[in-house]
Structure 1
Amino acid sequence: MVKVLIADDHAVVRGGLRQFLSSTEEFDIVAEAANGQTALELVRTSGCDVVLLDITLPDLNGLEVLKRIKRSKPDLPVLIFSMFSEDEFALPALNAGASGYLNKDSPPAQILAALHTVVAGARYVSPSLAERLLAGTMSPGKRLPHENLSPREMAVLLLLSKGVPLTRIGEQFHLSVKTISTYRARILEKLDLASNAEITRYVLQHKLG
């Protein structure tokens, strides 16, 4: 049996998937998460073979959850299961490490096909998206400003958003306050922000914290 983790904040969606997948002889739902943090914990503890992940979660952006999963378990297939159109999010999700992108209005046979594909180690896109990719008619998708930050800048961003003073951030990274101030200036410039308050608002808006 293939062990599935579902991360979706709608109980109705989780229940529908549970009922559908339990009727198959191949897939077993071993864990469910209603938010990103729980999903990340269950990825570590549930022993799942594949993750069905929604993009809109109440605490963390689904793409951020995806990136964290891929950092800790790069070989674990993650299938994005979203109400958003493929045109808007499929390529950013695939570029962030998703094994596939599936719309929530997909028929049951397509859901099974997608799960089989990603569990086998391949990538899944819908036939219509594959056709557009081959025809070159898909736009590459817009990068969000924080996706241009380095890992260190992202770490400083998150600490600044929580109100951690520059001196303490410097101590944590064994860097001078001047260096941390330089990081802060770069972050403000890259995100087109003007203050720590705006940094906090940005992090909350994009559910990065």
Structure 2
Amino acid sequence: MIEKLKVLIIDDHTLFRKGLKEILLDTSYIEDCKEAKNGHEALDIISREKFDIVFLDIAMPDINGIETLKKIKTLYPEVKVLMLSMYPEEQYAMRSLKLGASGYITKSADPEELLRAVEKIVKGGKYIPQSFSEKLLHYLDKSNDIPLHEKLSEREFQVLLMIARGKTLREISKDLSISIKTVSTYRARILEKLELQNNAEIINYAITHGLIV
């Protein structure tokens, strides 16, 4: 029997938060559900209130889900975090689980699967969808060599994906609230670490390694 739970949803899309909140509050063992629209607001809320499980979106502006996860697990290591994402599972799940996430699930999952994830996590387990488990094992077994992009910092990896999706340095600067000069520095580091020459090669690298769809 699961005791009454208090949860926090962190996502920058209001409609998604409201929809998820409605599903959760319709569950008998979830009695309270708070919302945060970004990582900064979430960290402020977590500093004042205790939650049994946190739902955290990976793709958020300013401070993304991976960075938010790192801060949460550093400051409040006991907090259980379920990552929510639309990104290719292998790449982001690996990073999330390594940083202490209790589970990973895509936003396209049905409510029943979501609640199975909640139940497993609050009981002390980790949740990964069955279909994804096979992909993760395949990803781990693909090679003994660490892919070059695994050597990137979280911010470099984020900039890599944004460049690969066709965003300009100015657009990246605005989305991440950092200067264009800083974005250029990240780009230079990415090119050096991945042994690439230009944006076209970054895009090709990202497609080849399944980092974008």
Task: Flag whether TM exceeds 0.5 (same fold).
Answer: yes
Q: Tell me, yes or no, if the aligned pair for 2:102 and 2:121 is still in contact at 8 Å.
A: yes
Supply the distance in 2 between the matched residues of 1:18 and 1:138 (Cα, whole angstroms): 38
The residue type paired with residue 38 of structure 2 is N
The residue type paired with residue 127 of structure 1 is Q
Supply the distance in 2 between the matched residues of 1:138 and 1:25 (Cα, whole angstroms): 42
Partner of 2:34: 31
Q: Tell me, yes or no, if the aligned pair for 1:2 and 1:28 is still in contact at 8 Å.
A: yes
Instruction: Work out the percentage of aligned pairs sharing the same amino acid.
Output: 37
Where 1:143 maps in the other structure, the secondary structure is helix
Q: Which of 96, 117, 126 does residue 129 from structure 2 map onto?
A: 126
Compute the displacement of 1:137 (Å).
4.8
Q: Which of 51, 54, 58 does residue 51 from structure 1 map onto?
A: 54
Q: Tell me, yes or no, if the aligned pair for 2:11 and 2:37 is still in contact at 8 Å.
A: yes
Partner of 2:100: 97
Supply the distance in 2 between the matched residues of 1:62 and 1:147 (Cα, whole angstroms): 10
Where 1:28 maps in the other structure, the secondary structure is strand
Partner of 2:91: 88
Compute the displacement of 1:85 (Å).
2.4
Q: Which residues of structure 2 form unaligned runs of 5+?
A: 156-178, 187-213
Where 2:27 maps in the other structure, the secondary structure is coil
Supply the distance in 2 between the matched residues of 1:201 and 1:13 (Cα, whole angstroms): 33
Output one character per residue of 1:147-172: Cα deviation in whole Å (capped at 9) or x when no partner: 59xxxxxxxxxxxxxxxxxxxxxxxx
Supply the distance in 2 between the matched residues of 1:39 and 1:24 (Cα, whole angstroms): 23
* Cα separation, partners in 2 of 1:201 and 1:70, compared to 1, 3 Å: farther
**TM-score, structure 1 as length reference:** 0.67
Q: Which residues of structure 1 form unaligned runs of 5+?
A: 149-195, 204-209
* Cα separation, partners in 2 of 1:197 and 1:82, compared to 1, 3 Å: closer
Q: CA RMSD of the aligned region, Å?
A: 2.6
Worse-matched range after superposition: 92-101 or 134-143: 134-143
Larger Rg, first or second structure (1 or 2): 1
* Cα separation, partners in 2 of 1:147 and 1:24, compared to 1, 3 Å: closer
The residue type paired with residue 55 of structure 2 is L
The residue type paired with residue 150 of structure 2 is R
Q: Which of 142, 150, 155 does residue 143 from structure 1 map onto?
A: 150
The residue type paired with residue 116 of structure 1 is E
Compute the displacement of 1:54 (Å).
0.2
Compute the displacement of 1:75 (Å).
1.4
Supply the distance in 1 between the matched residues of 2:142 and 2:29 (Cα, whole angstroms): 34
Supply the distance in 2 between the matched residues of 1:138 and 1:38 (Cα, whole angstroms): 39
* Cα separation, partners in 2 of 1:69 and 1:137, compared to 1, 3 Å: same
Compute the displacement of 1:112 (Å).
0.3
Compute the displacement of 1:2 (Å).
0.7
Supply the distance in 1 between the matched residues of 2:10 and 2:67 (Cα, whole angstroms): 13
**TM-score, structure 2 as length reference:** 0.66
Q: Which of 6, 11, 17 does residue 8 from structure 1 map onto?
A: 11
Compute the displacement of 1:46 (Å).
2.3
